[in-house]
């Protein structure tokens, strides 16, 4: 059985914007967090493409990655992920080829097939592009061809990009990308930080369909995990109310800006909403280091995951940094 110290651990930053805060401060906080988790021993630092969401400041993902990579020195930085239907594969190849050329050996390209937004925003992003989730397998093939070695008959090249072989991950919250990642022999990251219901089935599908490739000789699974670590269980429960309020706002179609923690959620949600938020955060690690260690050991025993990527959306930036510091101690013990 794997021990926690055998598992790589990483950070997924949703670059949260807080109530009465600004995108500029959120972006600076993201770099500060990356610098801290690099010191704490985290493996990679990912940000995700979201659009038309006032509480998330990572929409220009590749631009932000350049800022993060430039302000760190060893940690891998990448997308978790780029929503490929929104973009021409050549454009993404050029962007990530540029990043890899500037920061060699440190860039990851995680790809998703969802729009990362509502349908109206998706249309605004794509304009005349007819990109859709149905094109995802072909778009992945095209993108990886641009990043691979140049062939003699290749008429379109990504410059920078060609020959960089930026590591490509497939991301998913359902079973489609699990099967595709397995068939392509690519590493797979499951979005269990918001869709834990299908986690075990997705892992099974990925491993059952896995075919060794030039990239991987065996499956590699990374799981998303919500995190609220604090010195005591009581403090963690209090801080987690900011997360609950944000998920509740998402479900209600309201503003996603971060709200400060509250003493109780009573009166803020209805019983069915409380249950829905609980389902959304079914894999959440909330508590003291001792409590989180016990839950993580169960998770690893059940999934045999190779890596865990944690997301921590707390109101105070200092609380987020401390949460990741406590987790690092748990993972290394």
Please give the share of the chain, as a percent, with pLDDT higher than 90: 85
Integer Cα distance of 280 and 265 in angstroms: 16
- The answer to whether the predicted template modeling score (pTM) of the entire model surpasses 0.75 is yes
Query: Would you say 247 and 259 are in contact if contact means Cβ atoms under 8 Å apart?
Result: no
**What is the predicted pLDDT for the residue at 207?**
98
Give the pLDDT confidence of 280-290 residue by residue, as tens digits.
999 999 999 99
Is pLDDT above 80 for 330?
yes
**What is the predicted pLDDT for the residue at 195?**
86
CA dihedral 170, 4, 46, 138 (to 10 degrees): 0
Is pLDDT above 70 for 127?
no
Rg (CA), the chain: 19
CA dihedral 181, 276, 249, 200 (to 10 degrees): -10
Taking phi first (over 0 means left), then psi (-120 to 50 degrees means alpha), and beta for anything else, what does residue 228 get?
beta
Is pLDDT above 70 for 304?
yes
**What is the predicted pLDDT for the residue at 133?**
58
Query: Would you say 110 and 77 are in contact if contact means Cβ atoms under 8 Å apart?
Result: no
**What is the predicted pLDDT for the residue at 134?**
74
Integer Cα distance of 233 and 216 in angstroms: 40
Question: Average pLDDT for residues 62-66, to the nearest whole number?
Answer: 97
Give the pLDDT confidence of 17-37 residue by residue, as tens digits.
998 899 999 999 999 999 999
In the CATH hierarchy, which top-level class contains the domain 4-233+284-332?
alpha beta
Choose the weakest-confidence range: 91-105, 133-147, 168-182: 133-147
Please give the share of the chain, as a percent, with pLDDT higher than 70: 94
Q: Which element (helix H / strand E) includes 245?
A: helix 233-252
């Amino acid at each position: 059985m794997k021990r926690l110290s055998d598992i790589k651990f990483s950070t997924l930053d949703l670059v949260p914007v807080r109530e009465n805060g600004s995108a500029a401060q959120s972006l600076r906080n993201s770099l500060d967090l990356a610098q801290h988790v690099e010191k704490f021993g985290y493996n990679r630092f990912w940000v995700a493409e979201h659009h038309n969401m006032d509480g998330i400041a990572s929409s220009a993902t590749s631009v932000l990655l350049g800022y993060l990579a430039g302000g760190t020195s060893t940690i891998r930085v990448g997308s978790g992920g780029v929503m490929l239907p929104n973009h021409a594969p050549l454009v993404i190849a050029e962007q990530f080829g540029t990043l890899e050329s500037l920061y060699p050996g440190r860039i990851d390209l995680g790809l998703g097939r969802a729009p990362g937004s509502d349908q109206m925003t998706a249309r605004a992003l794509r304009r005349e592009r007819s990109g859709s989730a149905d094109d995802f397998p072909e778009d992945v093939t095209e993108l990886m061809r641009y990043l691979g070695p140049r062939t003699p008959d290749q008429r379109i090249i990504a410059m920078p990009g060609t020959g960089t072989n930026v590591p490509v991950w497939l991301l998913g919250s359902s079973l489609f990308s699990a099967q595709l990642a397995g068939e392509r022999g690519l590493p797979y990251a499951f979005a269990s930080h918001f869709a834990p219901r299908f986690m075990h089935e997705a892992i099974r599908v990925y491993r059952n369909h896995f075919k060794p490739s030039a990239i991987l000789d065996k499956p590699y699974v990374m799981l998303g995990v919500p995190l609220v670590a604090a010195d005591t269980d009581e403090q963690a429960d209090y801080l987690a109310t900011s997360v609950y309020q944000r998920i509740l706002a998402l479900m209600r179609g309201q503003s996603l800006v971060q709200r400060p923690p509250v003493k109780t959620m009573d009166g803020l949600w209805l019983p069915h909403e409380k249950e829905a938020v609980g389902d959304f955060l079914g894999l959440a690690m909330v508590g003291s280091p001792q409590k989180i260690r016990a839950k993580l050991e169960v998770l690893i025993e059940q999934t045999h995951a190779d890596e865990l990527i944690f997301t921590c959306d707390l109101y105070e930036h200092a609380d987020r940094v401390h949460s990741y510091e406590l987790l690092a101690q748990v993972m290394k013990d």
